[in-house]
Structure 1
Amino acid sequence: MAYFEYEKDDGKAEYYELLQELMERWEYEIVEFKSATGGYSEDKIGQYVSAISNEANLAGKQYGWFVLGVSETGMRRPVGTGFKKGPGTLMERFKYMISQNTTDAMTFLDIIELYPVVDGEPKRVLMFKIPAAVAGMPTEWKTRCYARSGESLIPLQQYKIDAIRNQERRDWSKLLLSGATIESLDRDAIAFAREKYKERRNQPHITEEVDSLSDEEFLTKIKLMRNGQVTNAAMILLGNAEYDYLFANAPTIMWRLYGADGELKDYTIFRIPFIRVVDQISAKIRNLTYRYMPNQLSLFPKETQQYDTWLLRELLNNCIAHSNYQLGGRIYINECEESINITNPGDFLPQTIETVLQTTYSPPFYRNQLLTESMVNFYMIDTATSGIKRVYRIQRKKYFPMPDYNFSTANQVSVTVYGKVMNDQYTYILYEHPELDLETVYLLDQVQKGQSIPKEAVAYLRKHKLVEGRVNHLFLSAEVAKTVEGEAQYIRNRAFDDRYYQDMIVDYLKKFGVGQKKDFRKLLMDKFPDVLTEKQKERKILTLLSALKRQDKIDTDSDNPRTCHWVLKK
């Protein structure tokens, strides 16, 4: 259900989609809505910060949401809020005030200001992204811990306090690297980090403060150094390559170029610092211009680069952020003729890519929390934790195949990005149906690649006439097969489909000699597409028997249709 309107091309479209999803689900332990048309108690917000943070931790989520400007009673709809409306400094001071009264100076991960349109009028909505309590430490507000009970705020129960305090999860990137000091870091990398941090914060007083700090003070401020010692995260992003021996396993990235014959043609190994390594790798990749026809009506081909620059940066930086450096593996970028494969040591925390593509998905935690936060601060990765979804959206917009993630190898995550069209029919259907959501496009992509998908997904695609064929031999619907060649392929697929059922009937008669309609019903009913009704399946059986009779392969042993048996024709 749509609760408001918004521009689909808006830069914050993903947040508008998320707001729709949150309003559909409505309030639960890690989501709270308040109308706050005029304002709202800052102290009350602090209590909700504590409650939502603690509940997110216990729910295994990375964060929760506190939303102002949405009606709490009656019809669900944005009503607009006046909370902290004005100069950006008002919100910055509010964030600072929150940090002064919470555990470990915790504050919002992000504050998103939206203007959804209701009855033609934009309404101001504020979405506060609240991080989950860190492992082992409940989040307090003014020395008290809060929780949720339905829609109410209550003190955090003792059993929940014990559950959080008994957690243990070490952030390897936050650990100090033995023997590493400020002298072990690259000064140019630190200078670059300063500039990106100021750009990310984009506040005059923060720029002034950063400029006044020494390198050590700056790195201490952003937690990459503690008590004069350097963290693993600082060394990965800003370390001097001459000191990478301080790691038990020095992190490296290797780019390899393969020819059409699969032979290795070139390679380069990159060492720390990694803060600018993606630019160096991107300069190596051959990003050629690709021309193709996204539809059959245009006389002019579409031109695009094989790989979107932002897409490559996001995937490469994700590898840096989420690698398991304790395994000692290397990040690989394998460039082939029509695709790029990227692998990193570790495992994929969401477990499946379908989970990530869900609009309301939020990671349970980050493997390298400090490293990830630092990369966000330096504008290296997406702050909305939706980078992978944006990667898929980019490929969809180009009508290219979706990226393929592979988790079959232990302790390794692999993703392949394609730089050309794989199946014209897939491209046509995406062009003709831009309204398809990302999860549906992902399923169509699996079909074009011949991958199996769940039965309920097959039924969904059939319901919308996007695919046809057997479960284990799906093909894109004839609706998009508009060329003669496409129609011929469709007819071949349909013919093969019918032959499959006919062969089953013939094999049955070879084995048992005779058969009645009830026998063929038992044989075929569960083999037919789920989209067919029972009556349609019954008619399908008669159609198949009639076709075999016309082909002179089978016949009946009497003229009575109710009592006759079907037999092979001699």
Structure 2
Amino acid sequence: MDLWLESKPSNSELCTVLDRLIKNWETEVVEFKEAGKDYDKNKIGQYFSAISNEANLKSLQHGWLVFGVRNKDKAIVGSEYRISKGLDALKQEISIGTTGGISFIEIYEVFPIVKGEKKRVILFQIPAATTATPTGWYDHFYGRNGESLGALSVEEIDRIRGQEKKDWSKQTIPKAKLEHLNKQAILLARENYKKKMNKSYISEEVDRMTDEQFLTKLKLIINGKITNAAMLLLGNEDYDYLFKTVPEASWRVFDSRNEVSDYEIFKIPYITLSERLFGKIRNLTYRYMPNQLTLFPTETKQYDMWILRELLNNCIAHSEYTYGGRIYLNEYEDKIILTNPGSFLPGKIEPILDPAYNPPFYRNQLLAETMVKLNMIDSQSTGIRRVFRIQKERYFPLPDYDLSNKQQVRVRVYGKILDENYSQILFKNPDFDLETVFLIDCVQKGIKIDKSAVKHLRKLKVIEGKMPNIFLSATISETIGEKTQYVKNKAFDDKYYKDLIVKYLEQYGKAKKRDIRTLLWDKLPEVMEDKQKEDKIRNLLSSMRRKNIITTDSSNKQVSSWILVSKFKQEK
């Protein structure tokens, strides 16, 4: 038995999961602990390693660590573990010590009622070890012998390391037959293939083939058997139970309060998924001014449909279907977020923006190759670059890839301009490459970039300011009518601030630090945080004291005031 939860499950759904865990779960892949107010993090890491490895050996997608349930009699006693500190940080803390930096799929808090009293139980969902790679905790591999925690045996380590990294999409479904596929989907596949090949003799050859011959040519049928890829792309939804884990996609629309206002579940065949799903999306007309050279705004749709189709089909091609999770398209008022189960194989987005990038391997090789042949995705490894390029040409923000969850990929597509300055820069500099635009996009979103990137953008004269408070340069700001904000952001020379202090002391004779603070505070750049302003004022006063311009009238810092040095007064 394996359980997979939807995102944001209700408390009643979580209570059902907890009940099933207590009654039916295998001992090696679930562990119950009372874990009152605290629990040793190192022990959590050891259990993570052990349960992850045991789940792999039992061909499960995940296992569970449960806090708030007594192991001896499985009584629900509740737990106060991290009740005030929070649980989110634990994911990152555990990933530091695990093989490949993997962490919990999710951490759920559930509140069952026991004898009229609400209890707090924590469900830690632990992913199975990656194929051929046992999960370690600080380079030690743990396992379970019944309910006992111990070292993973040499034989078990060898069993995991000896696993073949199989292409899920190429594996066949024992009971699936040609009649379990959707005839209209196969017809569409034929037409898409002929259009992609774009050669008359190939079209004629395909037209002469039977469905089985055509699918065999595409390797969707191997030795007369239906592959997972064939069933996923072309299957009849009435027979989706033939999969070990049923693939599904979900569309959800969120209102202004970020609450789900409508939703729909989509099943196979996935060759038509984008058309079915995109029929639900509100793609409104959006108006914006890309430059100051026209009196009329540009009109466009919020979303370029080629972008959404490419990203959705990427979700299809690269999902980890053994997890059993859904593909999600979450629609908000000004953005769309696509989510699919499985890690992002390149690790981060920057390498893909390099035109020379080639992926080392694909999770579902046959599926990805077939989708290229059926004109569903762009040629392999170039689609994401084209997505970024289209957004760049529209002067829209680039998509954001959230890869913080090692078992999930989230990509956000914006349906509006975030910062007009960004759009003006792109309009004025159409020759900027994608890597540069990516850095500028990071600046507009407040995402930290390294010193070399800052140096590169300074050279292009598109930013000013000191790290981490960098902003658009004066030349850009003047071009786009942002002079006022630029002046507020830009610091004056130190001499300006020092002259203000001197004039204040000449007029009033002395000043407390709070008086100097009041004098300068609103004149310091708006982009400075409060602590930075405090540091700036302290540094100015220290500098003036070292240069013998000012001093204090008492050695007691609690009561002293700043005054001008007599010598400096005479020179003035």
TM-score, length basis structure 2: 0.60
Q: Which residue of 2 aligns with 1:249?
A: 245
Q: Which residue of 2 aligns with 1:339?
A: 335
Q: Which residue of 2 aligns with 1:504?
A: 535
Q: State which of 401, 406, 422 in structure 2 corresponds to 1:426.
A: 422
Is 2:186 aligned against 1:190? yes
Contact 2:343 2:408 survives alignment (8 Å): yes
Q: State which of 295, 314, 339 in structure 2 corresponds to 1:318.
A: 314
Q: Deviations over 1:230-260 (max 9, x none)?
A: 1111111011101111112100110111112
> Letter of the aligned partner of 1:301 in structure 2?
P
> Letter of the aligned partner of 1:247 in structure 2?
F
Q: Which residue of 1 aligns with 2:379?
A: 383
Question: How is 1:224-239 mapped onto 2 (pairs within 5 angstroms)?
Answer: 224-239=220-235
Distance in 1 separating the partners of 2:563 and 2:321:
66
Q: Which residue of 2 aligns with 1:139?
A: none
Distance in 2 separating the partners of 1:482 and 1:172:
56
Distance 1:261 1:210, change over 3 A: same
Q: Which residue of 2 aligns with 1:461?
A: 457
Distance in 2 separating the partners of 1:556 and 1:505:
22
Distance in 1 separating the partners of 2:188 and 2:537:
73
Is 2:524 aligned against 1:493? no
Deviation at 1:438, TM superposition (A): 1.0
Contact 2:331 2:337 survives alignment (8 Å): yes
Distance 1:439 1:252, change over 3 A: same
Distance in 1 separating the partners of 2:441 and 2:401:
13
Q: State which of 324, 332, 351 in structure 1 corresponds to 2:347.
A: 351
Deviation at 1:226, TM superposition (A): 1.3
Q: Which residue of 2 aligns with 1:452?
A: 448
Distance in 1 separating the partners of 2:245 and 2:319:
13
Q: State which of 403, 414, 417 in structure 1 corresponds to 2:413.
A: 417
Distance in 1 separating the partners of 2:537 and 2:567:
19
Contact 2:442 2:449 survives alignment (8 Å): yes
Distance in 1 separating the partners of 2:391 and 2:541:
50
Distance in 1 separating the partners of 2:540 and 2:424:
43
Deviation at 1:502, TM superposition (A): 6.8
Q: Which residue of 2 aligns with 1:547?
A: none
> Letter of the aligned partner of 2:476 in structure 1?
V
Question: How is 1:106-121 mapped onto 2 (pairs within 5 angstroms)?
Answer: none
Distance in 2 separating the partners of 1:191 and 1:276:
12
Question: How is 1:271-290 mapped onto 2 (pairs within 5 angstroms)?
Answer: 271-290=267-286
> Letter of the aligned partner of 2:303 in structure 1?
Y
Q: Which residue of 2 aligns with 1:207?
A: 203
Q: Deviations over 1:317-370 (max 9, x none)?
A: 000000010111100001110011100001111111111111111111111000
Q: Deviations over 1:100-127 (max 9, x none)?
A: xxxxxxxxxxxxxxxxxxxxxxxxxxxx
Q: Which residue of 1 aligns with 2:435?
A: 439
Deviation at 1:404, TM superposition (A): 0.5
Identical-pair percentage: 51
> Letter of the aligned partner of 2:473 in structure 1?
S
Deviation at 1:507, TM superposition (A): 2.8
Please state whether the residue corresponding to 2:176 is helix, strand or coil: coil
Distance 1:260 1:485, change over 3 A: farther
Question: How is 1:21-100 mapped onto 2 (pairs within 5 angstroms)?
Answer: none
Distance in 2 separating the partners of 1:329 and 1:416:
19
Distance in 2 separating the partners of 1:203 and 1:174:
27
Distance 1:439 1:558, change over 3 A: farther
Distance 1:513 1:300, change over 3 A: closer
Q: Which residue of 1 aligns with 2:174?
A: 178
Aligned length: 362
Contact 1:447 1:476 survives alignment (8 Å): no
> Letter of the aligned partner of 2:535 in structure 1?
M
Q: Which residue of 2 aligns with 1:223?
A: 219
Distance 1:447 1:484, change over 3 A: closer
Please state whether the residue corresponding to 1:435 is helix, strand or coil: coil
Question: How is 1:128-167 mapped onto 2 (pairs within 5 angstroms)?
Answer: none
Q: Which residue of 1 aligns with 2:111?
A: none
Distance in 2 separating the partners of 1:283 and 1:556:
76
Deviation at 1:483, TM superposition (A): 6.8
Query: Structure 2 unaligned runs (5+)?
Result: 1-161, 492-523, 549-560
Deviation at 1:296, TM superposition (A): 1.3
Deviation at 1:187, TM superposition (A): 1.1
Q: Which residue of 2 aligns with 1:396?
A: 392
Distance in 1 separating the partners of 2:380 and 2:262:
36
Deviation at 1:487, TM superposition (A): 1.1
Contact 1:401 1:445 survives alignment (8 Å): yes
Deviation at 1:218, TM superposition (A): 1.2
Distance in 2 separating the partners of 1:462 and 1:357:
21
Contact 1:252 1:270 survives alignment (8 Å): yes
Deviation at 1:484, TM superposition (A): 8.5
Distance in 2 separating the partners of 1:445 and 1:300:
25
Distance 1:167 1:204, change over 3 A: farther
Q: Which residue of 1 aligns with 2:292?
A: 296
Please state whether the residue corresponding to 2:286 is helix, strand or coil: strand
Distance 1:271 1:474, change over 3 A: same
> Letter of the aligned partner of 2:350 in structure 1?
E
Distance 1:200 1:557, change over 3 A: farther
Please state whether the residue corresponding to 2:357 is helix, strand or coil: coil
Please state whether the residue corresponding to 2:487 is helix, strand or coil: helix
Contact 2:252 2:264 survives alignment (8 Å): yes
Contact 2:232 2:269 survives alignment (8 Å): yes
Is 2:339 aligned against 1:369? no
Distance in 2 separating the partners of 1:466 and 1:509:
29
TM-score, length basis structure 1: 0.60
Contact 1:258 1:266 survives alignment (8 Å): yes
Distance in 2 separating the partners of 1:261 and 1:455:
38
Contact 1:329 1:345 survives alignment (8 Å): yes
Q: State which of 248, 254, 258 in structure 2 corresponds to 1:258.
A: 254
Distance in 2 separating the partners of 1:225 and 1:553:
86
Deviation at 1:210, TM superposition (A): 1.4
Please state whether the residue corresponding to 2:482 is helix, strand or coil: helix
Distance in 2 separating the partners of 1:320 and 1:427:
32
Distance in 1 separating the partners of 2:355 and 2:401:
19
Contact 2:330 2:336 survives alignment (8 Å): yes
Q: Which residue of 1 aligns with 2:93?
A: none
Distance 1:410 1:516, change over 3 A: farther
> Letter of the aligned partner of 2:166 in structure 1?
R
Contact 1:295 1:428 survives alignment (8 Å): yes
Distance in 2 separating the partners of 1:178 and 1:558:
96
Contact 2:335 2:415 survives alignment (8 Å): yes
Distance in 2 separating the partners of 1:360 and 1:556:
64
> Letter of the aligned partner of 1:372 in structure 2?
A
Distance in 1 separating the partners of 2:480 and 2:214:
65
Distance 1:455 1:188, change over 3 A: same
Q: Deviations over 1:80-104 (max 9, x none)?
A: xxxxxxxxxxxxxxxxxxxxxxxxx
Contact 1:448 1:476 survives alignment (8 Å): no
